[in-house]
Structure 1
Amino acid sequence: MNAEDIAEINKFQVPKDTLGLHVLYEPKTTDNGFVADIVAVHGLGGDSFSTWTDNKSGKMWLKDFLPESQYFHNSRIMTFGYDARAWLLPASKNNSPGRSFTFSESFLGALRSQRILTNTQGRPIVFIGHSLGGIVIKKALVIAQVRTKLFGDIYESTKSITFLGTPHQGSGPADWASYLEKISQIIGIKRSKVLRELETWSPSLLELSRTFSEQLPRLLINSFYEKQLYEGVMVVEEGSATLSYITEVVDGLDANHRTMCKFADRESSVYRAVISQLETRMIEVQRAMERSVPEQKNTEERQSSLELPDVPTSEPVPPQTKEGAGVPYSTSELERRMKALRKLRLQG
């Protein structure tokens, strides 16, 4: 890459204060109601704050609207920011078969630390991802499934994911390259070499879509797709924005790829559509958690019933002797009695 290519990539450098995990809302008490961790992840061309903030009103719905919901006011709401330039930088020249999702590993590390430091491991997790942010979440869960010693809590605790304009499907690398090219158009990538670097993610994204599908049966999924063009481009069409899984809830939003995750007020039809499905999933997660408690108790009771009970014996415990433990007679006394018994038999 030349200097002009690097300059174009640097346009997407996010403010340093947006990097990492940020707690937007922490309930004062969690004694009354269902508690979960809500974590939002942005895509390329956004950051942990601007992606979720309406440009005109300045309202950030994750912080300003979501905590007002009766289903979320007891939950901790967080947003994660990463250096999205990683999508555009040249691939490493090592022997790795695909692009490296280092930002997904950073995401896992930050979330793990937050939960350990606040003693909230085991708390249910609900993820929200916009565009390629959904890809970051998917890869994080694939990593967590393998590296259970470090990230097993995150893997087991994840209950639901809401995807907003995340490309999920493509029959081959060419399809993924097409999606990435359209994303590059709306965020303003003009340098062909930079675009080619973005397109080198195609094989890795295709493989991720296959490996992540193994996790679908255990997750509650919402997938939203855009219904409006952005500067003449339908970035992620309905067919790509869905996972085609039987329990997945799919809905179209009257917004474009950029505005589908920004809401000016609570009365916005787009916000109402999103919050409705988020609240529904929270109810379902809570019910599933409540069902698991008696099921776990019944399992423990069944296991306990299979254990052999301690049966008390009616036989008296033999007295201790100096020469042997639990033997009613000493060795010498026993030998004397045995000799006497043999003598009687011989005499008989």
Structure 2
Amino acid sequence: MGLLSSLNALFNPVKKSEQAPTELFLLADAGSTSRLNIIFIHGLSGHYADTWQLTGSETPGWLKWITAAVPETRIYSLSYRLAMSNRAGGSMPIGARSINVLATIAAVMDSNLPTILICHSYGGLLAKRMLQTSLDLATEYEPIAKSIKGIVFLGTPNSGSPLADYLAGFRLITNSSVAVDELRDNQPELVELNNWFRNRLSKLDINILVFYETMQTHGLLVVDQTSANPGIPGVNPIGIDADHLDLPKPITEDVRVKRVQAFIKQIAGVAPPKQQFSPIQRIISSTDTDLPATVRRIRREASKRPHDDELQDALDYAARLRIPSDVDRPRLSYDMSRPLSGRMPWYLRVVINLILFGALVLLASKAIELFR
């Protein structure tokens, strides 16, 4: 949340001319080869670059680590007004902010690519609310929700934070914003949002990765393990030796970096496959009943990895099989040790094989004459 990152903001108002609008900054772009989007979403009193120490792709940090893992990536960072004090600019209610951010993303980002959200603190709550809004309320943004394939939560207070209660108790002094009220411990709206997220997640193709802080920030554990845990079966939060402010900014390639890299590779489809079969071998080894489903899975993989020749060769091979739907098909044999030759048309391969066969027959006949 960054609630303690700048107490000066309570007494030094931000001028209206300095309050930047909601903006999605493009920090790295692989152009037409991009295979996924990544969006960083900061928390309370955060900053699109400083929260994450996004200093550039050449120096150690998230940009360098992510592009090293998956170069074909578009990396964005969201900037939006989210101050803990009304004197410093205040904040929108989270429902209104979710529509504001969805509209901003829709105007900039290609939602045909898989998207991963990396969220710090309140940013994780906003991510969940964006999903809820786009699926249940503002359905014109549903393509964005359906593009989200992964969310990384770093210190997200799913059930609130005691620090928000503390700040709200001194409202006359702090003039705390609506965002602080939304973060109060066990706030009913937060509990309801997390229940919706847990129930709906089983119907969405979204992977989750969770980290939480184990060190105090100025004497207070801002988001404890219980609040950071969204309570999703199979998702085990990972404790980090950092306070709330340093949780999103690792200085070395520690467990946060390595797990996020593996998480991104998995979603991008570049992680080593768990099974040992090549795409063509998967088709050949499929039963007649399973074959159509196998081809559909390979087609989905190829849509995510359009430059993967093995997947394209497998689809070409499947097309030549002319898979029937209601009658038995003859199974074609294939030498699994020999890959298909790139994008060569099948008829050229037939011609080449006939020429080679003719040459072998000619050589054999000559050899027979020599030994007569």
TM category, shorter: 0.5 to 0.7
SS in 1 for 2:156: coil
- Counterpart residue number, 1:204: 189
- Counterpart residue number, 1:191: 173
1:174-189 equivalence runs, <5 A:
176=160, 178-181=162-165
- Counterpart residue number, 1:132: 122
How many angstroms does 1:189 deviate by?
8.4
1:159 partnered with 2:149: yes
1:24 partnered with 2:30: no
Counterparts in 2 of 1:196 and 1:134: CA distance versus 1, 3 Å:
closer
Decide which of 259, 262, 268 is 1:277's aligned counterpart.
259
| CA distance in structure 2 between the aligned counterparts of 1:16 and 1:293, rounded to whole angstroms | 52
Aligned Cα root-mean-square deviation (Å):
4.1
Equivalenced residue count is 269
Gaps of 5+ in 2: 1-8, 274-278, 280-292, 301-318, 327-372
How many angstroms does 1:276 deviate by?
1.6
Alpha-carbon contact 2:53-2:61 (below 8 Å) kept: yes
| CA distance in structure 2 between the aligned counterparts of 1:109 and 1:196, rounded to whole angstroms | 21
Alpha-carbon contact 1:27-1:74 (below 8 Å) kept: yes
1:295 partnered with 2:296: yes
Alpha-carbon contact 1:8-1:189 (below 8 Å) kept: no
How many angstroms does 1:150 deviate by?
1.4
Paired amino acid for 1:41:
I
Counterparts in 2 of 1:233 and 1:11: CA distance versus 1, 3 Å:
farther
Alpha-carbon contact 1:12-1:85 (below 8 Å) kept: no
TM-score (norm. length: structure 1): 0.64
Render the CA deviation track for 1:13-32: whole Å, top value 9, x for unaligned. Answer: 895458410001001551xx
1:109-258 equivalence runs, <5 A:
109-115=103-109, 120-147=110-137, 149-169=139-159, 176=160, 178-181=162-165, 191=173, 193-194=175-176, 198-199=180-181, 202-217=187-202, 218-258=205-245
Alpha-carbon contact 1:24-1:78 (below 8 Å) kept: yes
Alpha-carbon contact 1:53-1:59 (below 8 Å) kept: no
Counterparts in 2 of 1:135 and 1:91: CA distance versus 1, 3 Å:
closer
1:299-318 equivalence runs, <5 A:
305=325
Gaps of 5+ in 1: 1-5, 93-98, 170-175, 307-348
Comparing 277-286 and 287-296, the one that deviates more: 287-296
Alpha-carbon contact 2:82-2:90 (below 8 Å) kept: no
Counterparts in 2 of 1:17 and 1:11: CA distance versus 1, 3 Å:
closer
- Counterpart residue number, 2:41: 41
- Counterpart residue number, 1:346: none
Bigger Rg over Cα: 1
Paired amino acid for 2:78:
F
Alpha-carbon contact 2:54-2:63 (below 8 Å) kept: no
Render the CA deviation track for 1:218-248: whole Å, top value 9, x for unaligned. Answer: 3211110111111101110111111121232
- Counterpart residue number, 1:76: 74
| CA distance in structure 2 between the aligned counterparts of 1:293 and 1:141, rounded to whole angstroms | 30
| CA distance in structure 2 between the aligned counterparts of 1:54 and 1:74, rounded to whole angstroms | 18
Q: Give the structure, 1 or 2, with the largest relative contact order (CA under 8 Å, sep 6 or more).
A: 1
Counterparts in 2 of 1:200 and 1:128: CA distance versus 1, 3 Å:
closer
Paired amino acid for 2:260:
L
Counterparts in 2 of 1:239 and 1:197: CA distance versus 1, 3 Å:
closer
How many angstroms does 1:295 deviate by?
3.1
How many angstroms does 1:50 deviate by?
1.4
Alpha-carbon contact 2:85-2:174 (below 8 Å) kept: no
| CA distance in structure 1 between the aligned counterparts of 2:254 and 2:150, rounded to whole angstroms | 19
Paired amino acid for 2:123:
G
Counterparts in 2 of 1:13 and 1:80: CA distance versus 1, 3 Å:
farther
SS in 2 for 1:260: coil
Percentage of matched positions with identical amino acids: 20
